Every structure is written in C-alpha cells, then in structure tokens.
C-alpha cells in the first residue's frame, strides 16, 4: 500500500493532498498540522468529494500525531510562515529552518525510508538544510521549485503562442526566486519546433520576465502566495516517485560537481523514480546560461550562509 504524508495543511499543503487523492497517486494521504482541527476538517471535506469525483484514495487528517504518518513512502514538507512586515530575511529563515528541521526529524522517526520533498520557503535553502541535517542520502532529498517554475514558464509560452499549454515543452533551472531562476527559452519547443523560430526575441524576453516574477504577480493579485500550482507541482513530483514514472522534472537537488557546482541544492533537471533522484541530467548550456547559473548559485549560497550565521547548521 502506498502512503504519502503532507506536513502543513495550509493552502499549498491541502491542495497538494487534494491533487494526490483525486489522481489516486497514493492509497493513503495523511495531512498533519499544528493547528487543532484544520487537517482533520480539510481531510473530511475532501473525503466527502470522493463519491462526487470518483476517487478511492483515503485522506486522513491529524494534529501533531506523527504515529499516523508511519510507513510513508514520501513526506512532503510545506510547513513554515510567510515573511511578515518588519521581519528580516534572517528571522524568516531562522523560524522556517527550525520548523522544517523539527517536522522532518519527527516524521522520519516513523518513516525512516521515506523520500523527502521540500516545498517550504526559501525552498533551495530549506532543501539544503534537510540534506545537511537529516543524514539521508542525496537521492532522497528533493526541492519542488523547478517543477512549479517550469509550469509557469510553459503557461506564459502557451499564452504568447496562443496554443495548448500541454503541447509546450520548457524548463526552468537555477534558484527558486524572482532573480535567480533561469527559464531556458533557447531549449523550449512547441510540438518539437523551437519557440525561438515562432516568437520574436522581444516576445521571448517578455515571457522570461513574466515567468521570473510569476509568484510575485500572483501575490499582488491575491494578497497572499499562490497555492493551486505550487500544490499541484508538489503532487507531480510525488507521483513520479510513487509510480516510478522516471519523468524528467527540474528540482532542487544536491550537486557534486554537476554544472560546475558542489555543496549546494539548486534547480536542475533530474529523473524521478521509486528511489527519488535516479539521475541528474546534464544540459549543454551556452556561455550566457552558464554565467546565469553561476550567479544563481552564488545567490543561493548567500541565503544558505544565513543557516550558519544563526547556528542552525
């Protein structure tokens, strides 16, 4: 029996759990939250759609009862707080680092063989924290960011092309941030046709810029962070693992010399299967893309340095 635990039943976590159940990715999906009644209520609400939507997965909610998460194949971590007015970056990282480390350690006590998928922000840094503090092999620590950023990139490409988004291929590598992500316009295609042949350089630059501020655009419209696409992106990563689909998905993973970087978790394309990261895919980047990737890695390292400054690592 397959089982997935989603820690954090906020908007992103609940959406992820809902998509996992609706698509019957796992036999059982457990949502855990610190707030009394939230995960239980959302799980019950979702289960009441089972006969309406026709899925057979079971959803369970619990408040800090990690025993109910036992024997999970995948643990998805969405816990953390958004940055509040007046809060420094160091304070945000400090709070979220403590939360992520604590919930991951608690869950792994009951599911020592689980693969960990990190959604909590700052995502690359929280993935690095998980890698360094949990003692798991690198193939079992995965940050979700690239899956979401690539989905947004394909959305903006499809809008520019006036085509079906499912017929567009494209990916985003680098850090999961407005200034650190790298949409690879040169490699994007529409039904095998390079988009560089279909869109002007100016239009492609617009698409790239829109992708990079995609999260901020939604926050401006909604007044809070987005959740439908982030939750679904997390579910996509989990599905490739649980069903051993071996899909190529950009994710934040530990590099050991690939792309010229080491001792960092950052977005690159990987093959995801039952063992988590089955392979890091090496792309032939041009000189400009290599320079952008190096700058992105430097920025991510700058954020990672805060972990040592606040004595989390």
Are 281 and 304 contacting, i.e. CB atoms less than 8 angstroms apart?
A: no
Q: What is the pLDDT of residue 85?
A: 75
Distance CA 93, CA 116 (A): 19
**Both 81 and 9 in a single domain?**
yes
**Both 94 and 237 in a single domain?**
no
**Both 111 and 155 in a single domain?**
no
**Both 122 and 252 in a single domain?**
no
Q: What is the pLDDT of residue 297?
A: 98
CATH of the domain at 18: 3.40.50.720
Which residues constitute the domain of residue 39? Answer: 3-144
Q: What is the pLDDT of residue 313?
A: 83
Rounded mean pLDDT for each run of 10 residues along the chain, 313 residues in total? 98 98 98 98 98 98 98 97 77 93 97 98 97 97 98 98 98 96 98 98 98 94 94 98 98 98 98 98 98 98 94 86
Q: What is the pLDDT of residue 69?
A: 98
Last residue of a domain, one of 144, 177, 192: 144
pTM (global) more than 0.75? yes
**Both 169 and 297 in a single domain?**
yes
Return the half-sphere exposure (C-beta side, CA atoms, 13 A cut-off) of residue 212: 17
Distance CA 300, CA 173 (A): 13
- Count of domains forming the chain: 2
**Both 128 and 184 in a single domain?**
no
**Both 136 and 240 in a single domain?**
no
Give the active site residues. Answer: 176
Q: What is the pLDDT of residue 179?
A: 93
The structure tokens listed for 26 are 């796992």
**Both 191 and 93 in a single domain?**
no
**Both 117 and 37 in a single domain?**
yes
Return the half-sphere exposure (C-beta side, CA atoms, 13 A cut-off) of residue 149: 36
**Both 104 and 195 in a single domain?**
no
- What values do phi and psi take at 42, rounded to 5? -65, -40
Last residue of a domain, one of 112, 144, 176: 144
DSSP for 96-110, please give it. Answer: HHHHHHHHHHHHHHH
**Both 61 and 174 in a single domain?**
no
CATH of the domain at 231: 3.90.110.10
**Both 93 and 238 in a single domain?**
no
Are 142 and 117 contacting, i.e. CB atoms less than 8 angstroms apart?
A: yes
Last residue of a domain, one of 144, 161, 195: 144
């Amino acid at each position: 029996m397959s089982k997935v635990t989603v820690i954090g039943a906020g908007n992103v976590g609940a959406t992820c759990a809902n998509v996992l159940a609706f698509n019957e990715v796992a036999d059982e999906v457990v949502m855990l939250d610190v707030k009394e009644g939230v995960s239980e209520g959302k799980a019950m609400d979702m289960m009441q759609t089972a006969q309406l939507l026709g899925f057979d997965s079971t959803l369970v909610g619990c408040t800090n009862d990690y025993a109910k998460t036992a024997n999970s194949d995948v643990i998805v971590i969405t816990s953390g707080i958004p940055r509040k007015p007046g809060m420094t970056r160091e304070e945000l990282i400090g709070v979220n680092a403590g939360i992520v480390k604590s919930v991951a350690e608690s869950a792994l006590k009951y599911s020592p063989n689980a693969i960990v998928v990190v959604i909590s922000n700052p995502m690359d840094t929280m993935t690095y924290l998980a890698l360094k503090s949990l003692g798991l092999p690198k193939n079992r620590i995965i940050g979700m960011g690239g899956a979401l950023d690539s989905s947004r990139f394909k959305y903006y490409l499809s809008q520019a092309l006036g085509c079906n988004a499912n017929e567009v291929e494209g990916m985003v590598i680098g850090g999961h941030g407005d200034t650190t992500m790298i949409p690879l316009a040169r490699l994007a295609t529409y039904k095998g046709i390079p988009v560089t042949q279909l869109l002007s350089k100016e239009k492609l630059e617009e698409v790239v810029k829109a992708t990079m501020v995609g999260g901020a655009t939604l926050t401006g419209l909604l007044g809070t962070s987005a959740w439908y696409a982030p939750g679904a992106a997390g579910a996509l990563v989990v599905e490739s693992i649980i069903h051993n689909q071996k899909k190529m998905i950009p994710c934040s993973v530990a590099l050991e010399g690939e792309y010229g970087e080491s001792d960092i978790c950052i977005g690159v394309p990987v093959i995801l299967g039952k063992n988590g990261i089955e392979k890091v895919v090496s792309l032939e980047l041009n000189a400009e893309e290599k320079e952008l990737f190096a700058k992105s890695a430097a920025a991510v390292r700058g954020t990672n340095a805060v972990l040592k400054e606040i004595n989390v690592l």
